[in-house]
């Protein structure tokens, strides 16, 4: 059996199709503008000793390191003694917002003493980190007489 020395190449239609697919992919990538990328300036805060009944409020920076708007979809907490929100709910590329947290150490009554861990969960449109967690720790002391 004799083999021909010719190499078979894809037809013009296949070559044109591959070129069109590559061009479409490049165009869609350029138009999408990348993705949002959420980052908390701090992932945990230790309040140290806190007297039972004391209310503490603080802010943590929320940064969009991506190249598309970061949209905060929901903010929830692990316990009713902690409330939180992110302002603004849409953070542009390279911009920052603020996670505002309030912790009421006396919400569970005077018996709640010792170390506690509370969490804040932030859901967003970041495809790599659709939910990030912020942790708050404190050591609850008896209320002042």
In this prediction, residues 15-33 reach a mean pLDDT of 52
Least confident piece of the model among 10-14, 28-32, 88-92: 28-32
**Confidence class of residue 144 from pLDDT cuts 50, 70 and 90?**
confident
Percent of the chain with pLDDT over 70: 77
pTM over 0.75: yes
Q: Which of 80, 93, 82, 36 is nearest to 60 (CA)?
A: 82
Pairing type for strands 70-77 and 38-40 reads unpaired
The CATH code of domain 38-141 reads 2.60.40.10
Cβ contacts of residue 103 below 8 Å, gap of 6+?
47, 50, 55, 56, 57, 81, 82, 118, 136, 138
User: What was the pLDDT predicted at 29?
Assistant: 44
């Amino acid at each position: 059996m004799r083999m021909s020395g010719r190499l078979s190449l894809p037809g013009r239609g296949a070559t044109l199709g591959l070129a069109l697919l590559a061009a479409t992919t490049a165009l869609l990538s350029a138009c999408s503008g990348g993705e949002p990328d959420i980052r908390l300036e701090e992932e945990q805060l230790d309040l140290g000793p806190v007297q039972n009944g004391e209310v503490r409020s603080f802010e943590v920076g929320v940064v969009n390191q991506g190249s598309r708007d970061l949209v905060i979809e929901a903010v929830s907490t692990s316990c009713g003694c902690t409330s939180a929100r992110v302002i603004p709910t849409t953070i542009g590329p390279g911009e920052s917002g603020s996670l505002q947290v309030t912790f009421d150490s006396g919400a569970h009554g005077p018996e709640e003493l010792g170390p506690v861990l509370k969490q804040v969960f932030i859901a967003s449109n970041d495809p790599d980190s659709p939910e990030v967690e912020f942790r708050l720790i404190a050591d609850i002391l008896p209320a002042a007489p």
